[in-house]
Structure 1
Amino acid sequence: MTSTQRTASLAIPGGRFLIVGGASLVGSTTADLLLAQGAAEVVILDNFSFGARETIAHLEGNPRVRIETADITRLPQLLRAIRNVDGVIHLAAMMTISMDRDPEVGLEVNIDGVRNVIAACCANGVKKLVFASSNAVYGYGPGVAGELVETTPFHSAGAPPAAVLYGASKIIGEQLCRDAFRRYGLDYVILRYSTVYGERQHYRAANALYIIETHDRLKQGLAPRVLGDGSETKHFVYVGDVARANALALAAPASDVAVNLSGPAPVTTLELVNLVAEVAGIPIAPEHVAPEPGKVRLTTGGAFRIAHEEAERVIGWKPEVTMREGIRRLIAWREGSKALAAE
């Protein structure tokens, strides 16, 4: 029997699920979806060092939602929080910008934290773990080109240390999942996210900054900035599509697999900046600038595509929201939030 033939599916209606790092862009959207699909309980676990109470404010008071303040580097806290749940979605991680600022804490969270989550899942008899990995497992620089599939190796030449550490930590997290499957029979699905964007967007993702910093400058009447000639390829995936993938990974019979999540098509930085200006209705031409010294920048070696066909085969997922529509929703949310704050 192959791993994709294992019976590892969970029914969302009536199920109990815990989202580690749930007070986040992806976590809050996934919680909304699981509740809409009939989950009996959704536990949101966060230490609120990066997650924000405002992100999950609309869920407070919901009788099917439990909010747990806990730290994934503290195993006893996880052991208590993960009791009586069927499935766990592990989202909590230090991203590249945070890894640049504090690599020691970043490695503790991204490696020891994953190990603790797995240990708590095994101790509490959790039926399935969904682990949020990243396309950073393929690396950065000249080696990243062409079609990136689930077996593409890691490239690190020329990448900043924080980016390499982040990508390597995700590789280790994936291998910890594989080890737990072999040792203890913990079913899991790894989802390798592209850069996630959408409503409740934050400023911590290096690539997502292209979107929100561009919008910020346009609103200030300033020309948006494009690094170099703007030909670098970026891959984004809309947060609603990611939430749907998380739910499908729980419900699918697949286990012991890793699949890519990416949007319908790649985009260059110049195309992205122009698209944000067009959707925002602020036609200010971009200015081409050199990279800021000391600022973390994730470079690519040329045109590439992150293939997501395996995700459709394994969990029945493919992206539905185009970049234009996703940016339209993000800008509408940002402007709506500001309008409400001004009232």
Structure 2
Amino acid sequence: MKNKKILITGGAGFIGSHIVDELINDNEITIIDNLTTGSIKNLKYPEHDNLNFIEGDIREINFDELTPRTDYIFHLAAMASVPLSVEKPKECNDVNVNSTVRLLKSAVDNDVEKIVFSSSSSVYGENKNMPLKETEQPMPTSPYAASKASCELYLKTFYESYGLNYTALRYFNVFGPRQDKNSQYAAVIPNFISALLEGKQAEIYGDGEQTRDFVYIGDIAKANINACKSDFNGIVNIASGKKMTINRLYEIVKDTLGSDLEPKYLPERPGDIKHSLADTSNMEKINLKIDSNNFEDQLIETINWFKDIL
């Protein structure tokens, strides 16, 4: 992708910053981020001539000042914490849903070519029809998950009603460098790594037999760019297509770091799902393949990044 004008909401965040890195040299990038969970430090080229950074809340931004000069939008800004959404459901709806609708309307009014939306596997909830297909009925168990499902419906509606092209990417459990260990969004890997590097007990919510489908941040960035370039309108799971228990994950991290510390088990968190595994066949519609055999190498790369910052 070259010579495009791109708007990235949440572009200083864990995922958004990796997308920025991939596109910044050949495109004009505008980032909107309130730096609540994102950081300028996440950006590899914060002073790049192609970068325009706007510090602001998407609830307050006038999108019509930006979208007339935009070819594509990557929409990542959100309240991304399940526990926080349970605590503050109205704020979650305002940030995640109302702001998205305003952005979609502005995109339509100003002829944006396509929007790529960051959704979440949490929309599946406790659906037990594994592996989960995009055609499954959403069964959200938290306001966060409900907000993502609502946005997906709005995207489809704006496509049907106004012709706004879109792809909604349902991320499963993302991990990799720059992930905030204090984030409550899919943060089990950084929590394990940082705890063991600091000589502390890692915490596991529930019995640890819950399963997750982990996907590396580099694949997430590639998925966004591929989706943007594709003609596909609809929803795509982004995942490895393999499941792993949290207990097994802990053993791998512990062995990699050479630690003998055992984890501390805590009660399950409200809104958390028990099992998660993706059907990844739809990824071919955006020309994406993920090699799940690289997991341990990717984990080592992630561990090395945490060693450098701790």
Structure 1: which 5+ runs fail to align?
1-11, 339-343
Query: How far has the Cα of 1:209 moved from its partner?
Result: 3.0
Match of 1:152 among 136, 145, 157: 136
Distance 1:119 1:264, change over 3 A: same
Query: Which of the two has higher C-alpha Rg?
Result: 1
Query: How far has the Cα of 1:55 moved from its partner?
Result: 1.5
Structure 2: which 5+ runs fail to align?
none
- The percent of aligned pairs where both chains have the same amino acid is 27
Partner of 1:332: 304
Q: Provide the aligned C-alpha RMSD in A.
A: 2.0
* Contact in 1 for aligned 2:194/2:306 (Cα 8 Å): no
Partner of 2:31: 44
- C-alpha distance in 1, partners of 2:53/2:203? 39
Partner of 2:287: 316
* Contact in 2 for aligned 1:260/1:306 (Cα 8 Å): yes
Partner of 1:291: 267
- C-alpha distance in 2, partners of 1:328/1:206? 22
* Contact in 2 for aligned 1:273/1:286 (Cα 8 Å): no
- C-alpha distance in 2, partners of 1:110/1:207? 15
Partner of 2:108: 122
Distance 1:297 1:212, change over 3 A: farther
| Aligned partner letter, 1:230 | G
Query: How far has the Cα of 1:40 moved from its partner?
Result: 2.3
Partner of 1:81: 66
| Aligned partner letter, 2:165 | D
Distance 1:228 1:169, change over 3 A: closer
* Contact in 1 for aligned 2:8/2:74 (Cα 8 Å): yes
- C-alpha distance in 2, partners of 1:113/1:42? 20
Report the 3-state secondary structure (helix = DSSP H, G, I; strand = E; otherwise coil) of the residue aligned with 1:59: coil
Partner of 2:188: 210
Query: How far has the Cα of 1:173 moved from its partner?
Result: 0.2
Match of 2:90 among 104, 113, 118: 104
| Aligned partner letter, 1:133 | S
Partner of 1:275: 252
Query: How far has the Cα of 1:222 moved from its partner?
Result: 3.3
Partner of 1:21: 10
| Aligned partner letter, 1:241 | D
Query: How far has the Cα of 1:197 moved from its partner?
Result: 1.2
Report the 3-state secondary structure (helix = DSSP H, G, I; strand = E; otherwise coil) of the residue aligned with 1:306: coil
Report the 3-state secondary structure (helix = DSSP H, G, I; strand = E; otherwise coil) of the residue aligned with 2:31: strand
Report the 3-state secondary structure (helix = DSSP H, G, I; strand = E; otherwise coil) of the residue aligned with 1:131: strand
Query: How far has the Cα of 1:196 moved from its partner?
Result: 1.5
- C-alpha distance in 2, partners of 1:30/1:237? 15
Report the 3-state secondary structure (helix = DSSP H, G, I; strand = E; otherwise coil) of the residue aligned with 1:108: helix
Partner of 2:225: 247
* Contact in 2 for aligned 1:195/1:205 (Cα 8 Å): no
Give the TM-score normalised by structure 1. Answer: 0.83
Query: How far has the Cα of 1:125 moved from its partner?
Result: 1.2
Partner of 1:233: 211
Q: Which deviations, in whole Å up to 9, do the C-alpha atoms of 1:111-151 show, x marking residues without a partner?
A: 101101101211221100101111111113xx434221011
